[in-house]
Amino acid sequence: MSSQDVLQDASTLASYNVLLQVMFRVLTFLLNAFTLRFVSKELIGVVNVRLTLLYSTLVFLSREAFRRACLSGGSGSSHSWRQVINLLWLTLPLGVLWAALLICVWLWLLEVPDPHSVPYYGPAVVLFALAGVQELLSEPLWVLAQAHMFVRLKVVAESLAMIAKCSVTVVLVVSAREWGLFIFSAAHLVYTGFLVLCYAVYFIRFLGSEEAVRKNFPLHRVADLLPCKNGGEPLVDWTLARLTWSFFKQSFLKQILTEGERYVMTFLNVLSFGDQGVYDIVNNLGSMVARFIFLPIEESFYIFFAKVLERGREVRRQRQDEVAIAAEVLECLLKLVLVIGLVITVFGYAYSHLALDIYGGSLLSSGSGPTLLRCYSCYVLLLAVNGVTECFVFAAMSQKEVDKYNLVMLALSVSFLFLSYILTWWAGAVGFILANCLNMGLRILHSLLFIRRYFQFSQWKPLRGLLPSPLLLVALAVSAGVTAVSESVFCCDGGWVLRLIHIGVGAACLLGVLVTVLLTETRLVQFVRTQLLPWYRKKRS
């Protein structure tokens, strides 16, 4: 497969992933707004912070390293899929071990919530861990689907699973509110069960079919999806196994950085369960765009960079046409996420209070809620840049560099936890966001230095993507001033007429910024049209 074909598949994957994440975020957004009317903020805090942390820790530490290793390799490399499947099945026993350890910690070492306001905490811990282990059953199938760009499979599977989860939650919240945490545990088990079922049904029907033969799919029978030894080959590819171990050491540290504020809240009790609930709702609202745009781009283009570039090899020793397209894509991606991040930062400041008031009423818009969301709007800009730079760095690093970066991640993890505790003690929940900003800035700096060093003896300068046009910066600055004045005059205690005026002012400013982007960032616009809009690309072809 040529680098252009890989780019097209990765772009399609990113586009569908963005649409999928948009649907997820909208459904979750509506579900949270609905449940806020029926359950306490303490219950939401336990579910969205403590139990979700248990689940995310289990699945991330069990599978992230395997995913990164098994999806790595330049265009000229090849792996035995028999050995890859065997390696991926190790995620299941690893997940069981993590589940047993984390259940003990969550039940016996952490503070137990009041059973009257948060009933059935113990069974919920076990069920959330079970949901994580259940999801790991689909891991070999997920990697196969990603490696062969089965984009519609992921969209259908995760869509059905999310719809089923939301349906179960709504029905139980309305009809059986007294079940407490059982409601959310059952919904999460349904979600992971649907994921496993969809992937299993697809591959059972696909293997051995005419389509599989036409695509030259490396596996032929359902039995090939199960672990077994192939005659004459080692049980696993030990090169991939060592790379997995390197990523595993890194994934533990990355998890601390990704979920650091939840670990601090959970283990150090710096906020009450109610305050944790409010913070998490604001955090989810603020990170919606980051999750449904930036994360799918990072996941999809990591696959592109990993396939096009040869890990650990200097630029001049690789195929120059593939390095050229990788550099061009990196530059356009940096420009894209930078522009989106700047827009969110500018308009997030003036519309945070209004957004929270509409979403959750005075429960969210009073107190520290608007300040939290404004700070998060700035943090989104750092998230955007970091996602793209790290997806390139992780695809291009050699195993030795990955091991070395683990030490950097260790230092960042320790400093983040320390900063989180100190800044939270000083500034409350805002301290979590400030600590995240500082650490994200350091991670970006490390990635930028790596990219600059990677391309220093070549003709390509992809970091130019971080330089927006001066006219665009002027348009953003004007929009920031106009919307700030509009908020002070029209929002948010004067009724809906004044609120609509404030929204109209923001819409006009946003339109002006978008027109400026179309006029000044023509290369970026062309990249988005041809690579990130699959319907446009199909029409052109």
Summarize the confidence of residues 302-330 as an average pLDDT. 82
pLDDT, position 538: 46
350 vs 307, which has greater pLDDT? Answer: 350
pLDDT, position 293: 74
pLDDT, position 11: 62
Q: Given pLDDT bands bounded at 50, 70 and 90, which one contains residue 536?
A: very low
Type of residue found at 472: L
Q: Given pLDDT bands bounded at 50, 70 and 90, which one contains residue 539?
A: very low
Per the listing, tokens 């952490």 go with 110
- For 311, the 3-state DSSP assignment is coil
Could you tell me the CA-to-CA distances from 142 to 149, 202, 482 in Å, in that order?
10, 11, 47
pLDDT, position 163: 86
Q: DSSP letter at 39?
A: S
For the cut 70, the answer to whether the pLDDT of residue 426 exceeds it is yes
For the cut 60, the answer to whether the pLDDT of residue 174 exceeds it is yes
pLDDT, position 78: 54
pLDDT, position 2: 58
pLDDT, position 269: 76
pLDDT, position 541: 44
* Tens-place pLDDT, residues 36-70: 777 777 888 899 889 999 999 999 999 988 888 88
pLDDT, position 481: 94
183 vs 306, which has greater pLDDT? Answer: 183
Do the Cβ atoms of 45 and 273 come closer than 8 Å?
yes
Can you count the helices (H) and strands (E) in the chain?
24, 0
Q: What does the buried/exposed string (b/e) look like for 338-360 if buried means 16 or more CB atoms within 10 Å of the residue's CB?
A: bbbbbbbbbbbbbbbbbbbbebb
Residues 6+ away with beta carbon under 8 Å from 484: 349, 350
DSSP secondary structure, 430-471, as one string:
HHHHHHHHHHHHHHHHHHHHHHHHHTTTSS--GGGGG---HH
For the cut 90, the answer to whether the pLDDT of residue 209 exceeds it is no
Q: What does the buried/exposed string (b/e) look like for 205-226 if buried means 16 or more CB atoms within 10 Å of the residue's CB?
A: ebbeeeebeeeebbbeeeebbe
321 vs 165, which has greater pLDDT? Answer: 165
When the pLDDT of each residue in the chain is averaged and rounded to a whole number, the result is 83
- For 216, the 3-state DSSP assignment is coil
Per the listing, tokens 């449904």 go with 292
Q: Given pLDDT bands bounded at 50, 70 and 90, which one contains residue 278?
A: confident
d(CA 51, CA 48): 6
pLDDT, position 411: 83
Do the Cβ atoms of 137 and 95 come closer than 8 Å?
no
Do the Cβ atoms of 70 and 89 come closer than 8 Å?
no
Q: What is the sign of the dihedral through the CA atoms of 36, 51, 421 and 61?
A: negative
Do the Cβ atoms of 272 and 43 come closer than 8 Å?
no
For the cut 80, the answer to whether the pLDDT of residue 512 exceeds it is yes
For the cut 90, the answer to whether the pLDDT of residue 532 exceeds it is no
335 phi and psi angles, rounded to 5 deg:
-65, -40
pLDDT, position 355: 84
pLDDT, position 7: 62
Do the Cβ atoms of 273 and 42 come closer than 8 Å?
yes
463 vs 270, which has greater pLDDT? Answer: 463
pLDDT, position 10: 61
pLDDT, position 100: 96
* Tens-place pLDDT, residues 87-140: 999 999 999 999 999 999 999 998 888 888 888 999 999 999 999 999 999 999
Q: Given pLDDT bands bounded at 50, 70 and 90, which one contains residue 9?
A: low
Containing H/E element for 266? helix 260-268
d(CA 49, CA 332): 35
Environment class of residue 110 by beta-carbon count within 10 Å: exposed (0-12), middle (13-18) or buried (19+)? middle
Q: Where are the domains of the chain?
A: 1-38+254-461+523-541, 40-70+80-236, 469-520
d(CA 244, CA 65): 5
Structure tokens at 489: 């005059």
pLDDT, position 478: 96
CA 123, chain centre distance (Å): 28
Q: Given pLDDT bands bounded at 50, 70 and 90, which one contains residue 298?
A: confident
pLDDT, position 417: 81
d(CA 305, CA 224): 28
Q: pTM value?
A: 0.69
Q: Label residue 120 left, alpha or beta by phi (over 0 means left) and psi (-120 to 50 means alpha).
A: left
Per cent of the chain over pLDDT 70 is 89
Type of residue found at 511: L
For the cut 70, the answer to whether the pLDDT of residue 540 exceeds it is no
pLDDT, position 31: 74
* Tens-place pLDDT, residues 352-405: 888 888 877 666 777 777 888 888 888 989 988 998 998 888 888 887 888 788
Do the Cβ atoms of 403 and 249 come closer than 8 Å?
yes
Q: DSSP letter at 396?
A: H
Q: How many CB atoms lie within 10 A of CB 315?
A: 20
Do the Cβ atoms of 19 and 158 come closer than 8 Å?
no
